[in-house]
């Protein structure tokens, strides 16, 4: 997968941070300069798009829980490596599965047109996830409700959300 961005939109230290560290929750990438553009190449060899791998109507409870745990890990990795969690591409089509059956996410080291709030991005992600959840599994539905409810906090803080809401609602899964 290749995407091209104007040089002035790219965040150089984030590109280098991702390039020089093996961040386990992210799909690795490389880049090149062409004129005033940066071409980013995500290295997808050995990865399979989740939406192509899972052709079933619903993810199993185990796979759903694993996806949520890997999302939590990606958010923590972003903070640990001085990356912006809101620059994770949290879209169903942008989630990949590696050889070990672990989920990986695309990171965009690029300034967005407008500042995005991670709570809004996570709400959008959970909304996209809704069709893949088994609506008849009360345990999964309760966890999803807790995750969504935690995003509504008046003074939302991602670190608190991860440590309190995500850990509480998914704690028994780890």
Q: Which residues, in sequence order, are CB contacts of 28 under 8 Å at separation 6+?
A: 18, 22, 42, 43
Would you state the pLDDT for residue 171?
A: 54
Report pTM: 0.86
Q: What share of the chain is helix, strand, coil (3-state, %, to 5)?
A: 50, 15, 35
> Residues of the chain whose pLDDT is less than 50?
172-174
Give me the residue label for tokens 């949520």. 68
Dihedral sign, Cα of residue 47, residue 91, residue 109, residue 164: negative
Give me the residue label for tokens 């939302």. 156
Q: What are the sequence ranges of the domains in the chain?
A: 48-165
Would you state the pLDDT for residue 174?
A: 43
Beta-sheet pairing, 37-42 with 48-49 = unpaired
Percent of the chain with pLDDT over 70: 93
Would you state the pLDDT for residue 155?
A: 86
Would you state the pLDDT for residue 19?
A: 85
């Amino acid at each position: 997968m290749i995407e091209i961005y104007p040089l002035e939109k790219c965040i150089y230290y984030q590109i280098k941070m991702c390039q020089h560290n093996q961040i386990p929750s992210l799909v690795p990438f490389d880049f090149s300069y062409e004129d005033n553009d940066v071409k980013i190449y995500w290295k997808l060899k050995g990865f399979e798009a989740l939406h192509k791998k899972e052709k079933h109507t619903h993810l199993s409870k185990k796979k759903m829980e694993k996806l949520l745990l890997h999302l939590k890990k990606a958010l923590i990795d972003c903070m640990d490596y001085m990356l912006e969690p809101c620059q994770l591409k949290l879209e169903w089509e942008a989630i990949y599965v590696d050889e070990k059956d672990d989920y990986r996410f695309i990171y965009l080291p690029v300034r967005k047109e407008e500042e995005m709030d991670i709570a809004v991005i996570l709400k959008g992600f959970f909304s996209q996830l809704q069709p893949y959840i088994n609506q008849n599994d009360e345990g999964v539905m309760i966890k999803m409700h807790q995750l969504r409810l935690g995003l509504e906090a008046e003074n939302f803080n991602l670190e608190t959300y991860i440590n309190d809401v995500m850990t509480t609602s998914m704690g028994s899964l780890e």
